[in-house]
Structure 1
């Protein structure tokens, strides 16, 4: 079973690399008026910049697949809307905003129905947070290191600013009713063809959870859940239900596909870890990466560090395979994601570079070996171990294990 899973991972990666070589049309045709005036109705990247998402599509099931954020091509601490990673199980539904309705169902089956205008007629909350797919970095479980860039290894991770109605405010009257009841869960269901759904404990209704209408200031795009989606800061991507149709209170979890056969962890002790919603601390180097050629002298090492449960306190870099660590410069906001930079002088000898992060709770990002010992050989989700990059004597960079 493990060999077959590794084969499919390799096949999908190879298939996507072939697809990626095809010419992509990045700039849509402009109108005569735009051409004449030199202005654009909607701004586009420069024709000299070739930045795209990597796409892996399931040929046997239309609408099922994913695309990776090109982390190595970006900088700063936010992901452009058009480059935010995607993960679709049943395609992208089309829903006119004037026809959209959100249903909230209580424990007794009573419904309350809201239109978009109803929801927007409230005080809106804005939060900046990351979303990371639970399956991000799962190729790191492979017995041999994948020869690909950070984009394909860790690219199911993006950062955005989301604006919408606080989940706490939206569900306020229900929370007061169920405050003293035990084992209350909330099931969230999508408008997509498969009615994607997942149930979450009532603690999901916290300060940093909302029903979002806007991403980075503009209406959410179709592939990100238009007209609205659930956002839960720090929780895994499977919980951020897109194209939200229904919110239903229930006693106990629903044990849907997305919380049983998917997004659970088969551990080394033979047991399964379920409901592991909060993403653990993690850091990745985005530059240099596979495909780069480093020159002797000053080299900038940069990347991201994040945690779903605590802010990052510091990020460290090793340029000797983990024998010693040096503190980096970090760009930090009052959110759970930081951008880090470190300058070192490369002398033209083979070097292994790594990053690790430490959060406010003084937890240290584990090594790959520590993750494998904990998670076992059958794991697929929630990899957060240290990634190693080898700079060869000729300056070429490749992914490696140590």
Structure 2
């Protein structure tokens, strides 16, 4: 067998040598080696190798495509990130610009505030320099009369609106309530006899329906004038009483100086400090005045005079009660008026029943005027000699001028309004 295979190999070799001469590019023995490897099955199939190479190429191409896609996505993300960075930079630039504008505006406002404060100090200095001639006082005598007449009208209108219908209603009061009511009524009603006769006189004829409004007007006017209009330092409570004592002490030494001191002190108390800065706590004087006036209104509304107020109104004292709300508004107005009057160097005097109870009425009086119920014409004398029965509104006198002179000469700013009692 080996010999046979050897012969076949030799024959084949010879045949190959004769039929295929070796070229320059063909190495000797390469064909034999290929035949040998092919014989034993070690030489790969070209088609299989091509398929395998094609699959490898496809894998590589797919990986390349994926890498390119990732690159594109990364570039897009980078672009979006840069866009966001640019937008945020724009926002930051705008914010910095806004901050710079606000800082500039703040500096400008600060300079304006300082300029205004300087102007205020100059105005205050000028005002205090002119205090000697009373040039800062609010209005002249005619202005004071108009303001007082306005207060009188508001007091009268409130009394007519909220007074009880008939004086006989007070007869149902308990004995202690009735006694307190009569004692209060004596402030404005002259009682020539015993207490019950006062009410009986008011219950007779048309007076039964007219007297409640007249009496409560008189009581409210007395309450407001005695506690507010006639008191220069009413806002300060107990401190005000101490200042009133100082005022009297200075008056005993030098009357003119005492009035200048009083007007100057009130002016300074109500003036905000010259060095007051923006944002400081508001000045307290106006708040004190409002609180004291509210307290004065509450005292009247809850006192014995309440028996002359219609029950439907006196039972509601809260802020929703129109009766008390109107009363508080009137008293607040009286507080403002008191300040305006007392910051003048003129002295304000309130004249009421104790000063007039024994003074006979005269139709041509500069001090008194009859209540409209009497229907007296000017200078008519048919009620001359009658005594005062009820003071519906006190008189207000002014002593002295705006330049601090003539304190011995009184001027009548408001006449006393009286209901007369025939003897």
TM over 0.5: no
More strand by share: 1
TM-score (norm: length of structure 2): 0.22
TM-score (norm: length of structure 1): 0.23
Structure possessing the higher radius of gyration over alpha carbons: 2
More helix by share: 2
